[in-house]
Amino acid sequence: MRILILGGGAVGALVARRLIGEKNEVVIVEKDEERCLHLEETLDAKIIPGNASSIHTLQRAGLGEAEMLIAVTNSDEANLLGCLIAEAYSDVKIKVARLRTHEVDDWRSVCGTKFLNIDLVIHPDRETAERILRVVAVPGISEILEFAEGKVKLIGMNITNDSWVVGKSMAELDKSGPPKNSLIAMIFRGHRVIIPRGDDRLYAGDHAYIVVSADETQELFNFMGIQEVERVKRVFIVGGKQIGIEVALQLEKQGVQVKLFERDLHRCEKISTLVKSTVVVHADGTDQRTLVEENIEGIDAYLALTGDDEDNIIASLLSKRFGARKAGALVNRLDFLPMAQLLGINSIFSSRLVVVDRILQFARKGHVLSVTTFRQEEAEAIELVATPGSKFLGTRLKNVHLPHGAIVGAIVRPSGEVIIPRGDAIIEAGDRVIFFCLETLVPQLESAFFAGVRRVKA
């Protein structure tokens, strides 16, 4: 597929690398000359220097032959204009735009009209905030991801020294009475990714992901020894950018006492007009004296959401030392993610990966419902619809020869029945199937699953 990407920043480069690895023809439009040189040296893509909102630049980039346009420049206006040009001057089938404006809900209604006809509008701060809010009340949990419209959950957690599961094999855990519909799908150990089998064991420092039926989530928490806070009362947020404001507003609706720390006085004044009950503090929320003065001890969560990854990591570690029950950090540099997990930060969030996931869903074959990328793009969870003709249909999973490093984590029947499969489970046409696999296996897995299936528009 021919794909035109507007914007060669971090997200544009991440998406391009993945799409190139899956044998797509990629062209990137980027206005910064120095960045263009870097992209030419690191990517097997055609790089076009120029303005993404210029008709002539997009025509020079091959707009007329493109099948998909992905607008991820740093300017909302350029992204919208790029999509408008594509609608007026080409037959591009799929258009995706990233917007950061707080008016995103209004723009979504505009973008869905024939005037712009944008298939997907991504608001990274809104979508990242949703992920943050799912785990605020659970100190031992790093992530809660949802599949099949919430019927299946993927729970990420750090395995600590005092956990009873340390040293236990998958087979031993399976005999210890876990929820019927649960399965350890992935283990991150240092820089290694393990798709576990029966004799693999859990060790202190591991970061494990467990797939579970939604109605058995609490049973899984009990099994793993995770205690959920009955009610979140106090939360500190560091960073007054849009994501911090978004999280504060959502927590306010839940009756949570929120303090938001921001160094810029002008920004503080603006934030105070947007929030209702949140206390806006003009101070450095990473400063030890400030945290003690503001009574950090015993708060339910400390969320470091500034634009500086290093500050966020250090501040999260500091908050744990001062008694915060849960620490979360916004970390967008992918090479920092393994280190942050090894340091013991409860939850790590990446707005860049959120955007990449949503784009890949649209760039993949039309039967892909969702894509979730983990850490440095080392592993993926892919939610697919089983279509007639797939060679995986009608065969017991124990007889299906999946690539080593891939596992079927869940099957959801059209009736809504959730199956966390064992060897005798069978995939049927119409099922939602959630695979977990190493990133390098994605093309091979999709090729086998969609053998003979034509791509349809997402």
Domains 2-122 and 129-224 share a fold: no
pLDDT tens digits, 262-287: 999 999 999 999 999 999 999 999 99
pLDDT tens digits, 217-243: 999 999 998 887 778 999 999 999 999
Dihedral of CA 136/141/145/147: which sign? Answer: negative
CATH number of the domain located at residue range(s) 234-349 in this protein: 3.40.50.720
Looking at residue 84, what is its pLDDT?
94
DSSP structure string for 304-350: E-SS-HHHHHHHHHHHHHTT-S-EEEE---GGGHHHHHHTT-SEEE-
CATH number of the domain located at residue range(s) 354-449 in this protein: 3.30.70.1450
- Segments of the chain scoring below 70 in pLDDT: 114, 365-367, 448-458
Coil, strand or helix: which one is 290? Answer: helix
Looking at residue 444, what is its pLDDT?
76
Other beta carbons within 10 angstroms of residue 285's beta carbon come to 29
pLDDT tens digits, 427-445: 998 899 999 988 888 877 7
* Token pair of 335 as six digits: 């090479």
Domain ranges in the chain are 2-122, 129-224, 234-349, 354-449
Looking at residue 370, what is its pLDDT?
85
* Token pair of 342 as six digits: 């090894």
pTM beyond 0.75: yes
Coil, strand or helix: which one is 69? Answer: strand
Looking at residue 450, what is its pLDDT?
62
d(CA 304, CA 315): 7
Of 292, 296, 303, nearest to 245 (Cα)? 303
CATH of 129-224, one of 2.160.20.10, 3.30.70.1450, 2.40.160.20, 3.20.20.70: 3.30.70.1450
Looking at residue 422, what is its pLDDT?
80
Looking at residue 403, what is its pLDDT?
80
Amino acid identity of residue 83, one-letter, is C
Instruction: Give the rounded percent of residues in the chain with a pLDDT score beyond 90.
Output: 60
Looking at residue 454, what is its pLDDT?
42
